[in-house]
Amino acid sequence: MTVTDAQTAAVLGGPGQVLSDADVTAFIHEQLAGAGLDGRSVCVIVPDATRSCPLPLLLGAVHSALTGKVSRLTVLVALGTHAEMSSDELRAHLGGEYDVLNHEWWKEETFADLGTISADRIGEISGGLLQEEVRVRLNRAVVEHDVALVVGPVFPHEVVGFSGGNKYFFPGVAGQEVIDLSHWLGALITSAGIIGTPGITPVRALIDEAAALIPAGKLAISVVAQSGTNGLHAVAFGDTASSWQAAAAVSAQTHVRYLDKPVRRVVSLMPSRYQDIWTAAKGFYKVEPIVADGGEVILHAPHVTQLAAMHPEIEQIGYHCRDYFLGQWDSFRSMHWGVLAHSTHLRGAGTWDPVDGERCRVDVTLATGIPEEVVRRANLGYLDPAGFELAQYENDPDTLVIPNAGEILHRLR
CATH number of the domain at 112, please. Answer: 3.40.50.11440
Using CA atoms, how far residue 121 sits from 54, 128, 186, in Å, is 38, 10, 17
Do 265 and 139 belong together in one domain? no
| Whether 81 and 207 share a structural domain | yes
The pLDDT value recorded for residue 7 is 62
Higher pLDDT, 228 or 174: 174
Same domain, residue pair 224 and 262: no
Helix spans in 85-166 (H): 87-94, 119-125, 140-143
Residue 5 in any domain: the answer is no
* Residues 366-403 pLDDT 10s: 999 999 999 999 999 999 999 999 999 999 999 999 99
Burial of 62 (0-12, 13-18, 19+ CB in 10 A): buried
One domain for residues 351 and 211: no
Residue 104 — very low, low, confident or very high, per pLDDT cuts 50/70/90?
confident
Measured CA to CA, the distance from residue 241 to residue 117 in angstroms comes to 19
Contact 280, 301 (CB under 8 A): yes
Tell whether 192 and 297 lie within a shared domain: no
What letter does residue 168 receive in the DSSP assignment?
G
Q: Which residue has the higher pLDDT, 49 or 329?
A: 329
Domain membership of residue 348 as a residue range: 257-412
What does the alpha-carbon distance between residue 162 and residue 252 come to, in Å, rounded to a whole number?
A: 8
Alpha carbons 22 and 40: distance in angstroms, whole number:
26
Has residue 50 got a pLDDT over 80? no
Residue 272 and residue 235 in one domain: no
Domain count within the chain: 2
199-223 pLDDT, tens per residue?
A: 999 999 999 999 999 999 999 999 9
* CATH number of the CATH domain containing 341: 3.90.226.30
Domain boundary among 212, 227, 254: 254
Tell whether 300 and 163 lie within a shared domain: no
Which tens digit of pLDDT belongs to each residue from 264-279? 999 999 999 999 999 9
Question: Which of these three, 226, 254, 282, is where a domain ends?
Answer: 254
- pLDDT tier at 90, thresholds 50, 70, 90: confident
pLDDT at 229 over 90: no
- Per-residue pLDDT tens over the stretch 139-197: 999 999 999 999 999 999 999 999 999 999 999 999 999 999 999 999 999 999 999 99
Whether residues 243 and 339 share a domain: the answer is no
Does residue 1 surpass a pLDDT of 50? no
CB atoms within 10 A of CB 266: 26
Lowest mean pLDDT of 90-94, 130-134, 252-256, 289-293, name the range: 90-94
pLDDT at residue 6, as a whole number: 46
Same domain, 140 and 228: yes
240 and 106 part of one domain: yes
pLDDT tens per residue across span 295-352: 999 999 999 999 998 889 999 999 999 999 999 999 999 999 999 999 999 999 999 9
Instruction: Out of 254, 279, 310, pick the residue that ends a domain.
Output: 254
**Residue 4 pLDDT > 70, yes or no?**
no
